[in-house]
Structure 1
């Protein structure tokens, strides 16, 4: 008998790990695709890639069921259905966006400062304004208006601009006093299925590489809030993310333990050049200072870094206990 191709064996094993009774095969394919892109331990058998057509089919199927896609479909159908349908769209959008948690993540430096001062952590940006963005996709930007769209864009913290900044710029464009806005780009970015359908296997794998990389960089960015020792390398990575004003966007799309839906949405976002360019910039910065987990002057390296972090966490926990009466007999 001819030997069975090892790739066939590993592919079957990968599918078996993620396929269980009653589970849709497409969800198993997505989990398999995610697993194949994870860093492997030295000497471990490389997980083979699932068939690209199956990956593309799974992504489209999952994306069709996401809140964002469903809202966009409802918004587009409401455009020609009268005022009652438009009112129903706003009500549905508020309910669906609110059900997912409608606040963004507070900047890690603000969280760290508040915890050190024993103060309440400031709330993150309000995302209910995203209702207006959904409405603009379906009803048209002119129908929604500059002030409402400014609220939506300001919630994301895009380009470091505030709601007031957006209102001034969009209002000037609306009155013909400033550069016109190409609202066609809004429709283009709202199409989440088209980019996936057009993507090659190489492009999907590249998006996965970008997503996995950004997940790691974002984790380091947010761990600053939890007293992780600050080093020049880590500070440089955080500063780069902030200089691109990408913290709010990464907070919106990155999940460290994603469901298939979250993985599909994040992977689709990473097909966009913006996230690829940010990943490249962060990778370049890391190459310039790869010893990000080495405290200056401490020759113990990563081990000393972790010891310092754990010691700081214990000290902060003990101090918090004393402040709130936890240390009393």
Structure 2
């Protein structure tokens, strides 16, 4: 998005939310009721593994035709059970999930703000790179809300009980510890103040000089 805006080009289309609707339907109705083609759109829309809908359709179609080993689709419904993991979790696990959720909200926000012309720094770029290496931004974009409702927060807490999210959080925290100067623009000794001044100046330039307070 940022590249398109800087080049004065059309902003790319957003996620394929139709595909995500298919995934929700598969969880609620059963994968067999949805069919391989719709599931292929759903998994491609999630962005996981970087596979296109055609790739998923080929693999899922082979399963549907009996050319590949059957898939235990019951696992898909089990992943939708948000209340069960919360009820089974210990106090320590819930506290850890809250820490992971809070941390990932911060890292998600830093990544998303890059599209809004936030100055890039030698410390911010590696954080985005780590998220990209894991292929997790599309997932975080569905899980994380910067201003969550109580229900959304509870759903995010349940998700962050998973080792995948815990591992991503640890990786990002290690990267942050390696270079904590997130808001230090090279050559600017003003620190965070200079960072904000640079950001506001860029926003004014991009908006044609309109006042931004």
Same fold (TM over 0.5): yes
Aligned partner (choices 238, 242, 245) of residue 135 of structure 2: 245
CA contact (8 A) 1:236 1:285 kept: yes
1:119 maps to 9
2:160 maps to 270
Q: Which stretch of the first structure deviates more once superposed, 127-136 or 220-229?
A: 127-136
Aligned-partner Cα distance in 2 for 1:217–1:145: 36
For structure 2, list consecutive stretches of 5 or more residues without a partner in the other structure: none
Aligned-partner Cα distance in 1 for 2:132–2:56: 19
Aligned partner (choices 309, 313, 321) of residue 199 of structure 2: 309
- Report how far residue 186 of structure 1 moved: 0.6
CA contact (8 A) 2:30 2:77 kept: no
- From the superposition, tell whether residues 315 and 185 of structure 1 become closer, same or farther in structure 2 (CA, over 3 Å): same
Alignment of 1:192 with 2:93, yes or no, is no
Q: Which stretch of the first structure deviates more once superposed, 147-156 or 157-166?
A: 157-166
CA contact (8 A) 2:117 2:202 kept: yes
- Report how far residue 179 of structure 1 moved: 5.2
Q: Which stretch of the first structure deviates more once superposed, 249-258 or 180-189?
A: 180-189
1:295 maps to 185
- Report how far residue 182 of structure 1 moved: 3.3
Aligned partner (choices 21, 31, 50) of residue 131 of structure 1: 21
Give the 3-state SS of the residue equivalent to 2:207 in structure 1.
helix
- 1:6-49 C-alpha deviation (Å, 9 max, x unpaired): xxxxxxxxxxxxxxxxxxxxxxxxxxxxxxxxxxxxxxxxxxxx
Greater CA radius of gyration, 1 or 2?
1
Aligned partner (choices 137, 155, 158) of residue 45 of structure 2: 155
TM-score normalised to structure 1 length: 0.60
Aligned partner (choices 203, 207, 221) of residue 97 of structure 2: 207
- Report how far residue 161 of structure 1 moved: 1.8
Aligned-partner Cα distance in 2 for 1:210–1:265: 13
Give the 3-state SS of the residue equivalent to 1:230 in structure 2.
coil
- From the superposition, tell whether residues 178 and 235 of structure 1 become closer, same or farther in structure 2 (CA, over 3 Å): farther
- From the superposition, tell whether residues 139 and 306 of structure 1 become closer, same or farther in structure 2 (CA, over 3 Å): closer
- After TM superposition, the structure 1 = structure 2 runs for residues 1-329 of structure 1, keeping only pairs within 5 Å, are 111-178=1-68, 180-318=70-208
- Report how far residue 311 of structure 1 moved: 1.1
- Report how far residue 152 of structure 1 moved: 0.9
- 1:267-319 C-alpha deviation (Å, 9 max, x unpaired): 11111111111111111111111112112232332222222111111111126
- Report how far residue 122 of structure 1 moved: 1.8
- Report how far residue 138 of structure 1 moved: 4.0
Q: Which stretch of the first structure deviates more once superposed, 161-170 or 179-188?
A: 179-188
TM-score normalised to structure 2 length: 0.90
